[in-house]
Structure 1
């Protein structure tokens, strides 16, 4: 056991040999011991964690060139003690810091000094604490957007505390997007207020969010950046229990102000602020990828992201991307609906657990929670990565993303309640991937799309099979339970297959349960069930669909234009069941009942 098993425990010491009697204390010490042994592996090398929360001082960085890969056909495995048994212990790898020194004020708020930390969320005994928010909008009878920000005829904003910490939120700035812009300064007199927004994000926002949204009725009712839908992070807004404010008025001596819920006492609770931006990273090179590594049964929690402080904003465009300056172009929408401006290039929201140039990596039965960016990113150069049986919840951004990866499998995962801050983030995203299978997952209660597949020159072979996707589009519009855009291959043989999925409760207006968009091509959509959406599918988009087949699906409404579909779209053998009594009608049909019975997660031992 001494050669193939390394024990880590909260009561251990990093000067110990990592045995059951003398365990190590930290994951970093275990990694150093692993690196000493991988070159001569004769069996799997297993790091076992005893129960506890391990606060990471630095990213646990797995590098192919440093001895973190398995060798000789064997794996390096990190797991809890008792993994896969009834005695499996709970292990948390945390990027947070425990906040102490709380003092109560006469108004019922509590305060604690935190030095130079700048958390965007807190966790009190495991529950997310969001920032204080106002939904009242900018006050005044006249509010004017300017090159520097806003001018309003009300002096009220001058009374807002912590002005340079305030952030404006624009939910639905495009129907499918949300923007965040920081305030830099508020000045004025008795007659008016001048609100200066942080740069360069404000200039970028004015460049990007330009367009006309008619909604098909010829009447434009949309003015981007006219005013925020929400305003966050001022003590003036601290009125709702369970919210906090970060006070940065004294550089390097920041203070948290928290209005607790009735059942909370911060001085008697464990309050954690996320600090570390990357909890786990893994990478190699194209010639020597990180390989044969398994992480299973662990909880990854309390990751941060500071991008908004760096640029002054988060300008979401699509999927998990945001605009960081550069060239833009105009896109004219179909059916006289107007136009939008889109970025030529954009940047991906980072993930708190991220891999690139990795092969035969397994992430199984883990939990990704309490995270301030995206949860899990499988990036360029990854191949044969398996993401199986994980739970992703309480995440500020996206859930599981794969970008420029190939031959990967995403199955039996549960993804819900993501996009807590970055509302346009998808639950599962495939971007320019090749031969990736997403099957038997459950996605629910997400603010925008459930599964997103974006295409392009490199994309091919995406298979979205037998997933259960419900309660999507809970905040934003113009999306779907499954969303597919751009070419997906060069023929039906290499294209995308969307089969056997159950997609229901796609909630906001102007959505499609199953949405092929923006020149989607070489897509086969067969044997899916779509129920309770604005409309089940769309046939007319710009650029138009090419070589898209809808066959053998069950839905509760006829798609618009189904009597005269585009020449490049095939509709065949689809069944419309009544909206009322839809489930009963499904159950009565053996084919549709089989689809419902097969969709979603399966009971199995992961990894």
Structure 2
């Protein structure tokens, strides 16, 4: 085993020893590639900033990157950052200003705290939709430059973002022209009929972000892009903050780490932070549909919901990217933290036997862990909280297209939509997880949500067992939700409480070869008294008194959630 060390104060001309470490990750990677056999690269405490996306390939197989002292009380905090510290801050009328050139900034972190973009609710005055945007009888929007409209709840499970292309006087009011093709895509996608009411297009925005005039709440920021290439960052400080002592960081890299085609690679005890995703601010916007998926053209289809109700949905969708990605790789991510990231934290596609264990995910614009394809991935003992801060439809943990995936003993809390999502797959096992405070923003989801076929028989079907699902917040939800033709699923010994609806047995397309057995609820699932032909409902217990429910489920609850306590 070969050992190398890297430190922010090191020297790339040195040997990479503990007393003469390398300075950059790139130099450490080169050294590890030059040896025959496995290598360990230990990162000393501090912030490590790669020159660009830190990429590992097949040549890096067998290499471990870890925090110095990992597994001991002397472990140091090593941060791999895609951010840029903002210098030259000056104060003007109580607002901090910094010239940042052509830098695009969607997120900002002040002494490690996420600063929100300044925003106001909706459009001022009386506004109506036009073919190219909006008109309002208010003159206020004439001053807006570089703003972004947010559309929360066009469908109960969606939240879109679209940029404004221009504003102009329209009599006493303002004409607002939206950026294309995003506005056209949104008009194409969002069409529904519900209980006789028809809607067309995204409608009026629910909030507007990123104009200097919106800086009213301390701790918020905007990026003034009124002069191309001469952008100005503006931040309204919290009481007691001093520009001379405060560390302000803007994420720059969109992909922080990329690992592809590598075998037996490991990351242990590291912090991954301050990366971004700039796509939503471009003319195509973020035309969100469901979960981590968004629309960028290609046509829509119509889902008939019965009784004259319908919604249009994308014929094909694109997925929010991850800031740290593993593709066709085997290995382990263990004891790491993913924080202050502007997209999904960790993305895994393909591969065989990849494992994510004992990690923490927080302060993320999108979801925490996204797994697509691959055999036998394991997602275990991870803590997920405060995700989906910018893209509210993002699930905490999502898996789709996998074979033999295990999602076990995770804790998912404070997320805006679903906690754990499993799409079409084979042999998925969702075991003894704890979800609390899910669906805090959007509706029509669950603490655990599973959709589509899950195998073609009992041998490779899915198992949802021993999970505790509490406090699914928004109205119109189902705590434990099997949807859209889920099949070959056994749902057993779960506990669901404090949801709008605990579960539902009648969905479209219908469930088939699904068994609900031995679950505990504080309210009967919808359809429990008349299960459809594809559902077996037996031995489930409804206890409306919380004390009785807790007493009856103590053993299940004690085994759910994190293994590390």
TM-score bracket for the superposition, by shorter chain length = over 0.9
Q: Does 1:52 pair with 2:46?
A: yes
Matches within 5 A, 1:157-306: 157-160=141-144, 163=145, 165-212=146-193, 214=194, 218=195, 220=197, 224-284=201-261, 290-306=262-278
Partner of 1:287: none
What is the SS of the residue equivalent to 2:272? Answer: strand
1:189 deviation in Å?
A: 3.7
Matches within 5 A, 1:475-486: 475-486=441-452
Do the aligned partners of residues 545 and 416 (structure 1) sit closer, same or farther apart at CA in structure 2, a change above 3 Å counting? same
Q: Does 1:363 pair with 2:329?
A: no
Given candidates 30, 33, 57, the residue that maps to 2:31 is 33
Partner of 2:421: 452
Q: Distance in 1 between matches of 2:542 and 2:207?
A: 41
1:339 deviation in Å?
A: 1.2
Q: Distance in 2 between matches of 1:246 and 1:337?
A: 45
Q: Distance in 2 between matches of 1:140 and 1:125?
A: 38
Q: Does 1:103 pair with 2:90?
A: yes
1:21 deviation in Å?
A: 2.1
Do the aligned partners of residues 339 and 425 (structure 1) sit closer, same or farther apart at CA in structure 2, a change above 3 Å counting? same
What is the alpha-carbon root mean square deviation over aligned residues? Answer: 1.4
CA contact (8 A) 1:448 1:477 kept: yes
Partner of 1:6: 4
- TM-superposition CA deviations, 1:465-500 (whole Å, max 9, x none): 000111000000000000111111101221111000
Do the aligned partners of residues 533 and 302 (structure 1) sit closer, same or farther apart at CA in structure 2, a change above 3 Å counting? same
What is the SS of the residue equivalent to 1:207? Answer: helix
Given candidates 522, 529, 539, the residue that maps to 1:563 is 529
Q: Distance in 1 between matches of 2:458 and 2:295?
A: 33
CA contact (8 A) 2:55 2:258 kept: yes
TM-score, normalized by length of structure 1?
0.91
CA contact (8 A) 1:315 1:322 kept: yes
CA contact (8 A) 1:101 1:267 kept: no
Matches within 5 A, 1:187-586: 187-212=168-193, 214=194, 218=195, 220=197, 224-284=201-261, 290-334=262-306, 336=307, 338-359=309-330, 361-379=331-349, 381-455=350-424, 459-578=425-544, 580=545, 582=546, 584-586=547-549
Partner of 1:138: 123
Q: Distance in 1 between matches of 2:44 and 2:469?
A: 40
Q: Distance in 2 between matches of 1:279 and 1:15?
A: 25
Q: Distance in 1 between matches of 2:184 and 2:489?
A: 38
1:312 deviation in Å?
A: 3.3
1:310 deviation in Å?
A: 3.5
Partner of 2:60: 68
What is the SS of the residue equivalent to 1:586? Answer: helix
CA contact (8 A) 2:154 2:203 kept: no
What is the SS of the residue equivalent to 1:25? Answer: coil
CA contact (8 A) 1:124 1:266 kept: no
- TM-superposition CA deviations, 1:394-430 (whole Å, max 9, x none): 0001110101122110000000100000000000001
Q: Distance in 1 between matches of 2:104 and 2:112?
A: 19
CA contact (8 A) 2:50 2:80 kept: yes
CA contact (8 A) 1:145 1:225 kept: no
Q: Distance in 1 between matches of 2:374 and 2:236?
A: 44
How many residue pairs match? The answer is 565
Q: Distance in 1 between matches of 2:452 and 2:283?
A: 30
1:140 deviation in Å?
A: 2.4
Q: Distance in 2 between matches of 1:171 and 1:337?
A: 24
Given candidates 552, 555, 562, the residue that maps to 1:601 is 562
- TM-superposition CA deviations, 1:168-213 (whole Å, max 9, x none): 001111101110000010101442311001111111110001112x
CA contact (8 A) 2:148 2:281 kept: no
What is the SS of the residue equivalent to 1:78? Answer: strand
Partner of 1:115: 101
CA contact (8 A) 1:113 1:254 kept: yes
1:333 deviation in Å?
A: 1.7
Given candidates 127, 152, 157, the residue that maps to 2:136 is 152
CA contact (8 A) 2:163 2:282 kept: no
1:587 deviation in Å?
A: 4.2
Structure 2: give runs of 5+ residues left out of the alignment.
Answer: none
Q: Distance in 2 between matches of 1:450 and 1:418?
A: 10
CA contact (8 A) 2:382 2:562 kept: yes
Structure 1: give runs of 5+ residues left out of the alignment.
Answer: 71-75, 285-289
Q: Distance in 2 between matches of 1:58 and 1:367?
A: 20
1:519 deviation in Å?
A: 1.1
1:337 deviation in Å?
A: 7.2
Q: Distance in 2 between matches of 1:223 and 1:530?
A: 36
What is the SS of the residue equivalent to 2:244? Answer: helix
CA contact (8 A) 1:103 1:267 kept: no
Q: Distance in 1 between matches of 2:482 and 2:10?
A: 54
1:594 deviation in Å?
A: 1.3
Q: Distance in 2 between matches of 1:173 and 1:588?
A: 41
